[in-house]
Amino acid sequence: MSKRILVVAHNHPALHPGGTEVFAHDLFRAYQRAGHEALFLGAVNQVHREARPGTSFQAIGPTGDEILLWAGHFDRFFMSQIDLYGFVPDLVELLREFRPDVVHLHHILLMGAEFPHIVRRTLPACKIVMTLHDYYPICHHDGLMVRTDKRELCHGSSPDRCHACFKDIKPDRFALREQHLKALLSTVDCFAAPSEFLKRRYVDWGIAEDRISVIANGLPPQAFEAGKDKPKSGRPVFGYFGNLNPWKGIKVLLEAARQLIADGVDFELRVHGGAPFQTQEFVAVTDRLFSETAPFVQRRGPYRREDVAALIGGVDCTVVPSIWWENAPLVIQEAQAQGRPVIASNIGGMAELVRNGVNGLTVAPDDPRQLAAAMRQVIEKPTLLRQLSGRAVRPDDIDTTAGRYLALFNLQQVQAA
């Protein structure tokens, strides 16, 4: 039986092509292909759209089943939507008009932690499912779980520990924040996590283990289309794909490249991605490193998602040098779909997707020397590259993933893996 499914994210991939937005939108289309009536709702603020007087909603896309909800009045500390006279009434009107059987929430950023409570109050019989993509409810440091002073990985939150990162915020405020978020998220019927690691973090935080199902992310059909043939130049070609920011480890990668160049190693590194909303200091440092490592390192800039298969197909090996607890980077799955091995940091969900010496190599995060050594292995051992490529793990397609979510919604049986 066809059901109405409202898919909710904290932006739209046409405006901000982050992994969460991209996956949420792919899943939205997969629900439609499975015969369900789905509506995509993305939250935006003044960064991408200006407010329009008289309505919180704006159109996006030509099909009428994707809309934006302007959510510029947002409290980032309490993860709360504070526009009680515009946002909330308009959201309630949308819920009453569309009357979803299921709300699939992908993030509370901009939408607000009150969102599930608003759904429950408006539509008591509606099922509310939330996919956990990062650690925003746990960590005020942009959901990174990285200490603010020394880039040390954080293994758990507490009022005192969080106060040590944000000394201008008293411990009792962090205690209140935690209780506030847990109370509001208790309205969610069940959660999903794309990795065991992420699930464990939330279980440790206080969500009951039996309320969180692990469902791997999936990729759309075009991700499996054959990309370009492997490079024929003779020297290995590495690829980086994603936004350039401090937590994605781009500086670590460029410093590793600089070491290889100093050692006289011949290679090519193609860096695909832009650096939106970054500090002048970060941009200046990366500009300098790009200058010092040219022409071995090529800065190729932003790319369209439609081109990912071809771009990954044009390299021998993908590098994911993130220095935070990445959950389930789509780029790892995209590389594996093209039969390309991955060098990744051995933390978070990355360590679940890349098995050292099997379908890639893993290295300690934030360690340019160890990353350079791993890249050198690939450069100097062609047989290793072939072995790692041959053992690439084919990820799930998005329709299989949608089937697993639909089973979680109690709408159909779980599809075979």
Interval 289-323: pLDDT, tens: 999 999 999 999 999 888 999 999 999 999 999 99
Query: In the prediction, which pLDDT does 92 show?
Result: 96
Per-residue pLDDT, 99: 98
Query: How much is the pLDDT for 415?
Result: 38
Q: How many CB atoms lie within 10 A of CB 385?
A: 19
pLDDT-above-70 percentage for the chain: 97
CA distance 130 to 185: 9
Whether the per-residue pLDDT at 187 is higher than 80: the answer is yes
Closest among 398, 28, 66 to 222, alpha carbons compared:
398
Residue 116 has pLDDT above 50, yes or no: yes
Query: For 230-245, how does the pLDDT look when each residue is reduced to its tens digit (9 = 90+)?
Result: 655 578 999 999 999 9
Please state the rounded mean pLDDT for residues 241-250: 94
pLDDT recorded at residue 234 = 76
pLDDT of 229 reads: 58
Q: So what's the pLDDT on residue 113?
A: 96
Q: What is the mean pLDDT of residues 195-210?
A: 97
- Please give the pLDDT value at position 413: 40
Q: How far apart are CA 312 and CA 338, in angstroms?
A: 7
Is the per-residue pLDDT at 117 higher than 60? yes
In this prediction, residue 417 carries a pLDDT of: 35
Q: What is the DSSP track for 304-356? A: -GGGHHHHHHT-SEEEE---S-----HHHHHHHHTT--EEEESSTTHHHH--B
Cα separation, 380 vs 390, in Å, equals 18
Alpha carbon distance 166, 72 (integer Å) = 24
Environment class of residue 124 by beta-carbon count within 10 Å: exposed (0-12), middle (13-18) or buried (19+)? exposed
Beta strand 297-301 with 268-272: parallel, antiparallel or unpaired?
parallel
pLDDT value for 84: 84
Q: Where are the beta strands (DSSP E) in 120-177?
A: 127-131
Instruction: Name the least confident of 12-21, 91-100, 119-128, 360-369.
Output: 12-21
Q: Look at residue 416 and tell me whether its pLDDT is greater than 50.
A: no
Q: Which of 27-31, 81-85, 89-93, 161-165 is least confident?
A: 81-85
Among candidate residues 31, 202, 29, the one with its CA nearest the CA of residue 102: 31
Burial of 177: CB neighbours in 10 Å, binned 0-12, 13-18, 19+: buried
Lowest mean per-residue pLDDT among 27-41, 137-151, 216-230? 216-230
pLDDT at 231: 55
Q: How many CA atoms lie within 13 A of 104 on its CB side?
A: 27
